Amino acid sequence: MTDTYALAELQKESRMGGVGTENADRAIPRIDLTDFEARRAEITEELWTAATEIGFFQLVNHGIPQDQVDRVFAEAARFFSLPDETKGRFPLLPGTNAGWEKLSQTRPSVGTPDQKESYQVTRPRMDGLWPDDAELAGFQDFVLAFEAQCWDLAMRVLSCFAEKLGFDRDFFARAHDPASPEYQSTLRLIHYLPVPEDQKGRPGVWRAGAHTDFDCLTLLFQRDGQGGLQVCPGRDADAQEWTPVTPSDDAITCNIGDMLMRWSDDRLLSNFHRVKLPGQGDYTGSRFSIPFFAQANRDVVIDPPLGTYPPITADDYLQERVSANYRKG
């Protein structure tokens, strides 16, 4: 059953299918993580300001080596170059967040399938879902090692929010324990399909329709020149004023998810974002992006410190949000 919060979010998302207006002048904050421990207090304040006022920010000097970022995009390209019949041996099944899908996610905001394919990695659910070394040598080991680097970075950021919310520094690291069989954080490799010239800017079709993320924190890796991401800061989205996010090889774009917004008694903002089709003069080839979704283990109880919402397990919360917001295309 969908609770009042989820129903309100579904209704809000359904209003986000319009084009809206674009505000290219609004800046997405860039936060430098150099000397993280020595500068923890300063960085915490910068993160808190960005997360409470906008809900989006970019991390630079974040500690994940550039050669590792470059390689994960190369591995994604290798995977998606496999024939569909091969990728089809690793299917994304409902409720698992693990495996491959293509043109299967339809959002209430637009009612048309996202123009993409994706491969999702959720550690405890990957049995039978990896290509073997004959197909993609070294793929599994590298992707798992990269996922671990993403987890470490996400937990550093979340440790700052934990302290601001009155929790201890390691609160969210325990809630996202990768050693637990209840672990459900996900690394997703995404391939947005090339857009034919006659499909540029086609009304009602999006590479990814307007949505919020359901997790605590998303880390998004993008490539220079492969734009299209737009954000709508502020949960009052009625004005639909969208801000383009310039992709960058060396910056990680981050956003707060619905789970952390609830956990923070709505102090940290989860905001709408989407990926538009290319317009005139835009790059129309394949677009790759790689998000890591930090979402609490299934058995963890989300209990906001101020009591704005009743306690709920992370599993029940995510199932509620997914069932309300995804339809099969």
Q: Read off the CATH number of the domain in which 238 is found.
A: 2.60.120.330
User: 3: burial class by Cβ within 10 Å (0-12, 13-18, 19+)?
Assistant: middle
The domain in which residue 291 lies consists of: 3-326
Q: Read off the pLDDT of each residue in 1-6 and give the average, rounded to a whole number.
A: 42
Residue with tokens 């800046």: 27
- pLDDT tens-place string over residues 18-71: 555 565 557 789 999 999 999 999 999 999 999 998 889 999 999 999 999 999
Q: How far apart are CA 122 and CA 144, in angstroms?
A: 10
Quick one: how far is CA 81 from the chain centroid? 23
- pLDDT tens-place string over residues 142-185: 999 999 999 999 999 999 999 999 999 999 999 999 999 999 99
Q: How many CA atoms lie within 13 A of 245 on its CB side?
A: 30
Structure tokens at 102: 């293509």
Q: How many domains does the chain have?
A: 1
Higher pLDDT among residues 280 and 81, named by residue = 81
Q: How far apart are CA 144 and CA 148, in angstroms?
A: 6
Q: How far apart are CA 26 and CA 299, in angstroms?
A: 39
| Predicted model pTM | 0.88
Higher pLDDT among residues 229 and 99, named by residue = 99
pLDDT of residue 328: 41
Q: How far apart are CA 299 and CA 277, in angstroms?
A: 38
Determine phi and psi for 270, rounding to 5 degrees. -95, 120
Structure tokens at 26: 């609004």
Which residues face 191 on adjacent strands?
A: 117, 288
Higher pLDDT among residues 224 and 153, named by residue = 153
Band of the pLDDT at 119, cuts 50, 70, 90? Answer: very high
Secondary structure of the chain in HEC code, one letter for each residue: CCCHHHHHHHHHHHHHHCCCEECCCCCCCEEECCCCCCCHHHHHHHHHHHHHHCCEEEEECCCCCHHHHHHHHHHHHHHHCCCHHHHCCCECCCCCCCEEEECCEECCCCCCECCEEEEEECHHHCCCCCCCCCCCCCHHHHHHHHHHHHHHHHHHHHHHHHHHCCCCCCHHHHHCCCCCCCCCCEEEEEEECCCCHHHCCCCCCCCEEEECCCCCEEEEECCCCCCCEEEECCCCCCCCEEEECCCCCCCEEEEECHHHHHHCCCCCCECEEEECCCCCCCCCCCEEEEEEEECCCCCCEECCCCCCCCCEEHHHHHHHHHHHHCEEC
- pLDDT tens-place string over residues 98-108: 999 997 766 55
Q: Going by C-beta distance under 8 Å and a sequence separation of 6 or more, which residues neighbour residue 50?
A: 29, 31, 56, 57
> Has residue 291 got a pLDDT over 50?
yes
Q: How far apart are CA 4 and CA 96, in angstroms?
A: 25
